[in-house]
Amino acid sequence: MTAPMPISLEVNGERVDMHVLPRVNLADFLREHLHLTGTHVGCEHGVCGACTVRVNGEIVRACLMLAVQVHGKTVQTIEGLSDSGEVADLQSAFRERNALQCGYCTPGMLMAAQDLLKQQSEPSRELIREHLSGNYCRCTGYQAIVDAIEATAHSRRGRPR
């Protein structure tokens, strides 16, 4: 039997010191050990984007990363981005444009959208679609999601939505 390993990291601005089994992936660690359930588990193969989080500022698929791999790193989840207000305008735009229906993909979509808007202050609709291509939504058809991200980009640049 494999023994738990110690890990130390920062999650949403708080230091976390725990012991985890080496086989536990980051998504399960966040959900089951830290009770941060905004990181959803959809496909467990890294293709749906529901488990998107930031590790050291870069978005990653938490289902493909082991918890022991984030030892010494900084992790931000949708709860952290929401609590800090970083995605408040995106959340409002998603709500206003009905870009969330069942809500399952929404945390990953918001994480990916915020990542794009940090890189590009005014992305084209084509670039928005390309950046979201790794995040699946079965309900909205993406049009409203693209509209919400585009509106947020305009708003952040001082233009009306």
Give the domains, in start order, of the chain with CATH numbers: 5-81 (3.10.20.30), 87-156 (1.10.150.120)
CB 60 within 8 A of CB 75: no
Read off the pLDDT of each residue in 116-141 and give the average, rounded to a whole number: 93
Q: What is the pLDDT of residues 13-43, one digit of tens each?
A: 999 999 999 999 999 999 999 999 999 998 8
The pair of three-digit structure tokens given for residue 116, joined into one six-digit string: 């794009």
What integer pLDDT is reported at residue 160 of this predicted model?
63
Cα(116)–Cα(146) distance, integer angstroms: 12
